[in-house]
């Protein structure tokens, strides 16, 4: 079995394969990374750090591009308003 | 503060080839990338599908290139985002640290820009729904651990990337419902016929078609809207058209991108001349600015082989070594790039996909009707905030270029949003060098 890591997405534990990116954890949890200025739910679009649709708060730091961040055990991530 | 003879920005194939060539010839080399690993997009690492893999040959090529890079003596710096060029031969990059971020000043004698390309996204009703991804975007997310096994995925848009993505996704156990290529068969025919001079590309194409034997590949077809389930808000289908009729194709996910656009922001900031949308270079990959070179997609969308040869030329040129033996190969790849551009040219119907309330600028949720009346990019920015969100027009810029013919101008630092502390940062050594200048 591949090694796994567990991170918290909006308080909910999500188990991911080691080497996974944080955007993928949001997709697995079924919650958006951010809510747009008119209230639309958004998740990663470009997957390569260009579009900023996947930005979220990671371990207290806001506006992180979660498609360029690897999941680490114990990481706490929150959707952005 | 870090210094090197040669700094390479971007660790995709072009950057890897450039750094390897320069370092092998005794130059000190720093290779920077904003991602956590080398490979860029086309050689992106991550979680591979178990079982069969269509692109075994490609993995071997990547492994060989990374091995050459490792033994070349180049220093690799990951998670570095270049956001400014505050003085001559100086860059500033931001990098994440345990407690926040850190600004690093970098000085070079020669700079090689290998900043790659991004997908072009065109707005259509529903394109902002969860479940709609870029084609390369979805591939990257799947390699990043997004589990798609058993899902029905429609692939649409334009460019050879669609085929590569479909083959790759299939290896993860998905059902590709169809691939819709906006370019017509007539537009693609001369391109296909020209491939005789690139046998490796023909073989790759044949491999893709064999892997996708059961998947409809429709030329002259494009998406007109993505529809959501009323209860869940999730994507349920994509509406496709061939210009004569419109039909509904149920899918769990839509992978949609309209070929590629070059990442020229850093080159523009440094004052390098553009030719059309691309960075202008000579046959040694020199830009219009002395000691600055550019290789790969920013100089013309030519794919992997172009990136590798141009990167090598730039690296050799920085090291003062001859590049004559690579010139013919580069010329052939440039021809391939111009044929690619002609083959996947966007059809005019794509400009008419947006409804009045379709969001064009996703960062600021600016809708089509708010933009249609504007006189140009600057007017749109001033009046609507289009292009003024965190992506700084990287997504809506190419979209409004396609929709309205606007050319985004005025690249200014920071190249992407940074904390205020990064803007206030002054490297002590950097200050000294500025005073001397």
Q: Which residues of B touch A66 (CB under 8 A)?
A: none
pLDDT, tens digit, 9 for 90 and up, residues B337-376? 999 999 999 999 999 999 999 999 999 999 999 999 999 9
Q: Which residues of chain B have pLDDT under 50?
A: 429-437
| Cross-chain Cβ contact A53/B130 below 8 Å | no
Q: Is B28 among the domain residues?
A: yes
Q: Which chain A residues are Cβ-neighbours of B41 within 8 angstroms?
A: 48
Per-residue pLDDT, B192: 83
Nearest CB among B132, B140, B233 relative to A67 is that of B140
Indicate yes or no: CB of A40 within 8 angstroms of CB of B395.
Answer: no
Is A81 near chain B, with CB under 8 Å?
A: no
Residue B111: beta bridge partners?
Answer: B7, B292
Which residues from chain B sit within 8 angstroms of residue A61, using beta carbons?
96, 100
| Domain, as residue range, for B303 | 2-118+261-341
**Calpha distance B404→B394 (Å, rounded):** 16
Give the DSSP H/E element, type plus range, for residue B140.
Answer: helix B135-143
Q: What is the pLDDT of residue B433?
A: 39
Residue after which a domain boundary falls, among B258, B292, B315: B258
Domain ranges for chain A, please list them. Answer: 4-78
Q: Are residues B374 and B336 in the same domain?
A: no
The confidence score (pLDDT) of residue B355 equals 98
Residue B426: inside a domain: no
Which pLDDT score, from 0 to 100, does residue B113 have?
Answer: 98
Instruction: Say what the pLDDT of residue B427 is.
Output: 65
Same-domain pairing of B31 and B111? yes
Looking at the structure, tell me whether residues B245 and B283 fall in a common domain: no
What is d(CA B163, CA B145) in angstroms, rounded to the nearest whole number?
A: 21
The residue to which tokens 């933009």 are assigned? B371
Distances B39 to B30, B45, B166 between C-alpha atoms, Å? 15, 7, 20
**Beta-carbon-side half-sphere exposure of residue A3 (alpha carbons within 13 Å):** 6
Contacts of B65 (CB under 8 A, 6+ apart): B13, B16, B17, B20, B43, B308
Q: For chain A, first and last CA: distance in Å? A: 36
Considering B341, B356, B391, which residue would you say is the last residue of a domain? B341
How far A64 CA sits from the closest chain B CA (Å)? 10
CA of A46 to nearest chain B CA: how many angstroms apart?
A: 4
Fold assignment, A4-78: Ubiquitin-like (UB roll) (3.10.20)
B365 vs A36: CB contact, 8 Å cut-off?
A: yes
Query: Do strands B253-258 and B152-158 pair parallel, antiparallel, or not at all (unpaired)?
Result: parallel
Report the distance separating Cα A66 and Cα A25, nearest Å. 9
Give the whole-angstrom CA distance, residue B93 versus residue B103. 6
For residues B6 and B70, state if they share a domain. yes
Among B258, B285, B317, the domain-final residue is: B258
Closest residue on chain B to A68 (Cα): B35
Asked, for residue B97, whether it belongs to a domain, the answer is: yes
* % residues pLDDT > 70 (chain B): 95
Neighbouring C-alpha atoms within 13 Å toward the C-beta of B137? 35
Together in a domain, B185 and B301: no
CATH number for B207 = 3.50.50.60
Whether residue B437 is contained in a domain is answered as: no
Flag whether B428 is in a domain.
Answer: no
In a domain, B383, yes or no: yes
Nearest to B36 among A16, A32, A70 (CB): A70
Residues B227, B334 within the same domain: no
| pTM of this prediction exceeds 0.80 | yes
The number of distinct structural domains making up chain B is: 3
Per the domain annotation, does B325 fall within a domain?
Answer: yes
Contact between B134 and B161 under an 8 Å Cβ cutoff? The reply is no
Average pLDDT, chain B: 93
Query: What is the reported pLDDT for B211?
Result: 87
User: How many A-B residue pairs are in contact by the CB < 8 A criterion?
Assistant: 110
> Is B301 a member of any domain?
yes
Q: Are B133 and B255 in contact (CB under 8 A)?
A: yes
The partner residue sitting opposite A50, judged by closest CB among B128, B144, B394, is B394
């Amino acid at each position: 079995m591949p090694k796994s890591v567990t991170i918290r997405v909006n308080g909910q534990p999500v188990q991911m394969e080691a080497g996974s990116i944080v955007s993928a954890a949001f997709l697995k949890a079924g919650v958006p990374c951010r809510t747009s200025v008119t209230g639309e739910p958004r998740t990663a679009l470009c997957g390569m750090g260009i579009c900023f649709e996947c930005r979220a708060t990671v371990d207290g730091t806001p506006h992180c591009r979660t498609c360029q961040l690897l999941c680490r055990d114990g990481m706490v991530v929150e959707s952005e308003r | 503060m870090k210094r090197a003879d040669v700094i390479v920005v971007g660790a995709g194939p072009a950057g890897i080839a450039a750094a390897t060539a320069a370092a092998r010839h005794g130059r000190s080399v720093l290779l920077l990338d904003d991602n956590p690993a080398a490979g860029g997009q086309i050689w992106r690492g991550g979680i591979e599908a178990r079982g069969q893999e269509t692109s075994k040959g490609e993995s071997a090529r990547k492994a060989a290139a990374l091995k050459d890079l490792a033994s070349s003596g180049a220093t690799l710096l990951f998670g570095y985002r270049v956001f400014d060029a505050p003085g001559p031969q100086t860059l500033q990059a931001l990098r994440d640290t345990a407690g926040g971020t850190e600004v690093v000043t970098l000085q070079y004698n020669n700079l090689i820009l290998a900043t790659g390309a991004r997908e072009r996204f065109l707005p259509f009703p529903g394109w902002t729904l969860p479940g709609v991804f870029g084609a390369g975007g979805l591939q990257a997310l799947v390699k990043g651990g997004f589990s798609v096994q058993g899902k029905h995925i429609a692939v649409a848009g334009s460019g050879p990337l669609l085929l590569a993505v479909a083959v790759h996704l299939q290896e993860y156990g998905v059902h590709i419902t169809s691939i819709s290529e906006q370019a017509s068969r007539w537009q693609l025919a001369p391109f296909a016929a020209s491939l005789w001079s690139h046998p490796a590309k023909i073989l790759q194409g044949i491999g893709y078609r064999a892997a996708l034997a059961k998947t409809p590949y429709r030329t002259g077809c494009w998406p007109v809207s993505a529809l959501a389930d009323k209860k869940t808000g999730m994507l349920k289908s994509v509406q496709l058209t061939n210009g004569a009729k419109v039909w509904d194709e149920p899918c769990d996910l839509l992978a949609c991108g309209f070929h590629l656009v070059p990442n020229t922001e850093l080159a523009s900031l440094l004052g390098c001349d553009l030719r059309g949308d691309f960075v202008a270079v000579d046959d040694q990959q020199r830009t219009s600015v002395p000691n600055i070179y550019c290789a790969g997609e920013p100089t013309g969308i030519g794919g992997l082989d172009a990136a590798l040869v141009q990167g090598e030329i730039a690296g050799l040129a920085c090291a003062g070594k001859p590049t004559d033996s690579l010139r013919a190969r580069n010329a052939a790849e440039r021809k391939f790039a111009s044929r690619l551009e002609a083959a996947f040219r966007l059809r005019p119907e794509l400009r008419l996909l947006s409804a009045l309330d379709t969001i064009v600028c996703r960062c600021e949720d600016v809708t089509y009707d708010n933009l249609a009346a504007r006189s140009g990019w600057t007017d749109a920015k001033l009046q609507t905030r289009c292009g003024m969100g965190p992506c700084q027009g990287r997504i809506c810029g190419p979209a409004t270029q396609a929709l309205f013919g606007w050319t985004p101008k005025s690249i200014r630092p920071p190249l992407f949003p940074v904390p205020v502390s990064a803007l206030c940062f002054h490297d002590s050594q950097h200050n000294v060098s500025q005073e001397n200048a």
